[in-house]
Structure formats: structure tokens, C-alpha cells
């Protein structure tokens, strides 16, 4: 972590440095080299994890064991960084609950002196949370600032969490029970001699899941330096008259930015203006749930399956049954109307939503698999979750009461 801390400190200073074009180009190459060091092992770990997962899940299914039992088998991860973030959040919320100037603090989160409104314990926990988790965001778009740079994003989430939050329950007991079921099934299938090898493969899968979680968390540290670097390049180009404003740089390709820094001759204003207008138009339209492969039409399976007139059939991701009012959110700004027991409906189980889990009655997602970071965390919290319901964010309406059956993968409209 020392290397990560040094990396963060160096790139935080970029705003004040105002580097010239040569320094910007050098920084771009430096960030590219650092990114490759992060991403190459991340990709390798993912491939190994995915291969082990498919092989072991296939074996589990061939033994006629319940699908969610496999999730219990691999679900409990000691040292899970996403779960640790949630525990730190619960501590912070508990401290804020007793702060007399809490509401004023939430209203002024966009200002640097907001923390001065807190007592010693709450302020320490707030600063620690941002230091350890502030690089997170709910979007992979580098134009969106991280939590540290725009902490006001957390205000609605904090306000909702103060209503009541608790720590993850853990899944260790269910994991032990699932392991026993696996040993019994192997013996009954005449595969008792393979038990040791299978258990070693399960332990290896858990190790790679833990590594994948940690690498995913650490790779997030690359996004904010990327954002700062693009903005710094945009600021320099705007100063040269090649862009109208610094954030126009987000509408440029990396090669275009580098070319303009090396030889600042032709204006990029009109190109940036056209792309910004195209982006704003695209934001107003509804994107397809998925894109055709090899230009084939979307398969029927990509549409929501109806268990009945008022039920949608997806895939079971985390056991249990929960009822609540639908809240649709793609980012933290959408959680303002969240109440205790709400059902979060989203496109993907983003790990940045994990601090919300103690408040939720269930999760419904259009995408995400058994080992998705958000669903691993859902099982740790004992939170019912269903995935694979296409267009979930449009099929289910805000304010509708639903029942989420995480054992059967069914969402029922009540």
C-alpha cells in the first residue's frame, strides 16, 4: 500500500502544478505504464477465477445440488475489501448519528470546511473513509469526479444510512454447510477419492476471488489521476485557444489530445462542440439492453421472462425473501428517496452501492453474475438479490411494491 499512497500523493498535486505540454505528455506515458502494471495481473486473475468458477459450478450442477448452495460454498471471503468499506461506512454513520450539527455538515459537504462541523470521532472516521475509499465512484466515466473530489455525492447516501445501518452478517455457517453437502454428494456419486482435489480447487477459487476483489478496488485508483490529467491537458489547450473550456478534453480521443499537445496548431473547438452535442442527445435516448453479436438479432432470452402476469423471472444471486418499495438508481444521486427496506433496482450491482446494503430489502439487477462484486457482498449481508431481468430499470416503476425471492430468482409485483 505504500506504493499506492505515494502514487496518490503525487497525482493529487497535479491541480496546483499546472504542467506544460511536455510534462503532460510525460505524465501520460507514466500513467500508461502504471496502468499496465495494474491491469495485466487483474486480467490474469479474472481469467483464472472465471475458469475455476465455471469448472466447479459445472461439477456442483452435475451433482444435482441447489444452485444457490454453490454461492454459499464460495461466498465468504475474509479480508473482502468491499465488505471492509461497508463496515467503515457503518462506523461513520453511527458516529454521525449523534452529531448535533449533522444536517449542516451534510448540506455543506461540497465545502472543504464541512468536516470542521464534526466532533473529533466523527471527523476522524470521515477523513479515514475518504482516504481509504474516496477514489470510488459509481461510473467508469472519467469525466465524473470521485468521492474525494466531490464528497457532496455522498450526502443522499449518508442521509439515508443515518436512518439505520448494520454490519454484514457473514456467510461462514452457510459455507461450512455447503462444503459438507459437496463432500456427501461426491461420496454418493462414487467420487469420494476426488474430494481432496475438489476442496483444493474451491480454496484456490476463493483465493483468486479475494485477489480479484483487491485488484478491482486498487485499479479504481487509476481513474482519478486519469481525470486530472485529461483536465490539465484541456486547461492547457484552452489557454492556447484550441478548446473553449477545459472539460471539452473529455470529448477528445487520447491520440487527438497528444497530437494537440505535441503540435498545437489546429483548433479542436468545433470537434469538441459537435461531440458534446452528440453526447447530450444520446443521454436523452434509451440505449439497447445489449448489442447484437455478429449482427444477429437479440435472442429471446435477453428479454424479461414472465413467471406470471405480475412476476418476472431472473436468476437467483443471493438467498432470502424481501419486500419493499422500488427505488431505481444508476448512481448515488438516484438514492435520495431511499427508505429502510427499499428494493434497489439497477443495471449492474456496482460495488459503490454496498454501503446502502444495510438499508435495503432486496436488489434487482439487469446484469451481473454469481461472482460479481456487488452480489458477493449481498450474500455477506443476507440480502435477497435477483439478476438477469432485462430492462429492469424500465419494467419496474419507482414507488411500486415488490417481493424479491432470491432463492427462486423471482420478482413479484404486489
Helices (H), 240-355: 254-262, 269-283
Distance of CA 160 to the CA centre of its chain: 19
Residue the block writes with cell 486498487 = 218
Residues 6+ apart with CB under 8 A from 277: none
Q: Considering Cα of 5, then 8, then 10, then 16, what sign does the dihedral take?
A: negative
Residue 379: inside a domain: yes
d(Cα 197, Cα 217) in Å, to the nearest integer?
Answer: 30
State the pLDDT confidence band at 302, using cuts at 50, 70 and 90: very low
Residue 357: inside a domain: yes
Most confident of 146-160, 250-264, 304-318, 360-374: 250-264
Residues 6+ apart with CB under 8 A from 354: 82, 83, 85, 86, 374, 377
- 223 grid coordinates: 481513474
Residues 6+ apart with CB under 8 A from 360: 322, 324, 341, 342, 343, 344, 383
Q: How far is CA 174 from CA 70, 144, 369, in A?
A: 10, 39, 20
d(Cα 396, Cα 88) in Å, to the nearest integer?
Answer: 32
Phi, psi of 310 (to 5 degrees): -120, 20
Query: Tens of pLDDT along 10-39?
Result: 777 776 778 888 999 998 998 888 888 878
Instruction: Label the pairing between strands 311-313 and 305-308.
Output: antiparallel
Residue 403: inside a domain: yes
Residue 318: inside a domain: yes
Helix (H) and strand (E) counts for the chain?
15, 9
Helices (H), 100-253: 102-107, 120-133, 155-161, 172-188, 195-219, 223-239
Residues 353, 358, 360: CA angle, nearest 5 degrees:
75
Q: How confident is the model at residue 62, as a pLDDT?
A: 93
10 Å Cβ neighbour count for 336?
Answer: 13
Instruction: Label the pairing between strands 343-346 and 321-328.
Output: parallel
d(Cα 271, Cα 280) in Å, to the nearest integer?
Answer: 14
Residues 254, 257, 263: CA angle, nearest 5 degrees:
140
Query: Tens of pLDDT along 325-374?
Result: 998 877 665 666 677 788 999 888 877 787 778 788 899 998 888 878 78
Residue 397: inside a domain: yes
Residue 197: inside a domain: no
Q: How confident is the model at residue 296, as a pLDDT?
A: 44
- Higher pLDDT pick, 225 / 303: 225
- Tell me the mean pLDDT in the region 132-148: 83
Are the C-beta atoms of residues 34 and 251 closer than 8 Å to each other?
Answer: no
DSSP assignment string, 163-178: T--------HHHHHHH
Residue 368: inside a domain: yes
Q: How confident is the model at residue 122, as a pLDDT?
A: 94
Query: Tens of pLDDT along 244-290?
Result: 999 999 999 999 999 999 988 888 999 999 999 999 998 887 666 55
In terms of Cβ atoms closer than 10 Å to its own Cβ (0-12, 13-18, 19+), residue 389 is buried
Q: Which 3 state secondary structure label does DSSP give 362?
A: strand
Domain count, the chain: 1
Question: The domain that contains 368 carries what CATH number?
Answer: 3.50.30.10
Closest CA relative to residue 343, chosen from 367, 324, 365? 324
Half-sphere exposure of 204 (CA within 13 A, CB side): 16
Query: Tens of pLDDT along 50-88?
Result: 999 999 999 999 999 887 788 888 766 666 777 788 788
Residue 338: inside a domain: yes
- 135 grid coordinates: 477514489
Domain hosting 393: range is 303-413
Amino acid at each position: 500500500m505504500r506504493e499506492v499512497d505515494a502514487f496518490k500523493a503525487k497525482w493529487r498535486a497535479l491541480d496546483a502544478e499546472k504542467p506544460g505540454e511536455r510534462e503532460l505528455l510525460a505524465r501520460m506515458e507514466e500513467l500508461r505504464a502504471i496502468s499496465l502494471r495494474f491491469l495485466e495481473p487483474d486480467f490474469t486473475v479474472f481469467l483464472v477465477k472465471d475458469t475455476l468458477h465455471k469448472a466447479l459450478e459445472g461439477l456442483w450442477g452435475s451433482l444435482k445440488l441447489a444452485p444457490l448452495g454453490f454461492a454459499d460454498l464460495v461466498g465468504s471471503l475474509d479480508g473482502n475489501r468491499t465488505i471492509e468499506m461497508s463496515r467503515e461506512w457503518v462506523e461513520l454513520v453511527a458516529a454521525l448519528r449523534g452529531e448535533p450539527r449533522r444536517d449542516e455538515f451534510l448540506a455543506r459537504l461540497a465545502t472543504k470546511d464541512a468536516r470542521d462541523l464534526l466532533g473529533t470521532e466523527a471527523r476522524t472516521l470521515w477523513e479515514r473513509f475518504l482516504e481509504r475509499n474516496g477514489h470510488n465512484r459509481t461510473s467508469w466515466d472519467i469525466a465524473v469526479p470521485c468521492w474525494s473530489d466531490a464528497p457532496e455525492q455522498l450526502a443522499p447516501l449518508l442521509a439515508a444510512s443515518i436512518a439505520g445501518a448494520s454490519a454484514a452478517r457473514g456467510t461462514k455457517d452457510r459455507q461450512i454447510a455447503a462444503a459438507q453437502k459437496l463432500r456427501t454428494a461426491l461420496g454418493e456419486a462414487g467420487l469420494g477419492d476426488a474430494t481432496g482435489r475438489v476442496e483444493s480447487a474451491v480454496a484456490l477459487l476463493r483465493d483468486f476471488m479475494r485477489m480479484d476483489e483487491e485488484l478491482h478496488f486498487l485499479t479504481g485508483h487509476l481513474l482519478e489521476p486519469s481525470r486530472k490529467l485529461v483536465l490539465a491537458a484541456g486547461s492547457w489547450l484552452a489557454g492556447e485557444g484550441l478548446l473553449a473550456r477545459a472539460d471539452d478534453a473529455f470529448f477528445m480521443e487520447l491520440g487527438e489530445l497528444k497530437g494537440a499537445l505535441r503540435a498545437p496548431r489546429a483548433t479542436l473547438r468545433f470537434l469538441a462542440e459537435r461531440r458534446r452535442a452528440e453526447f447530450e442527445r444520446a443521454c436523452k435516448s434509451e440505449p439497447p439492453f445489449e448489442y447484437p453479436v455478429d449482427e444477429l438479432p437479440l435472442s429471446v432470452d435477453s428479454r424479461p421472462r414472465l413467471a406470471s402476469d405480475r412476476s418476472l423471472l431472473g436468476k437467483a444471486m443471493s438467498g432470502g425473501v424481501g419486500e419493499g418499495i422500488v427505488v431505481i438508481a444508476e448512481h448515488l444521486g438516484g438514492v435520495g428517496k431511499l427508505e429502510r427496506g427499499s428494493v434497489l433496482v439497477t443495471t449492474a450491482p456496482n460495488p459503490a452501492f454496498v454501503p446502502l446494503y444495510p438499508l435495503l430489502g432486496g436488489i434487482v439487477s439487469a446484469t451481473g453474475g454469481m461472482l460479481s462484486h456487488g452480489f458477493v457482498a449481498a450474500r455477506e449481508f443476507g440480502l435477497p438479490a435477483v439478476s438477469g431481468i432485462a430492462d429492469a430499470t424500465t419494467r419496474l416503476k419507482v414507488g411500486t411494491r415488490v417481493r424479491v425471492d432470491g432463492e427462486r430468482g423471482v420478482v413479484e409485483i404486489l
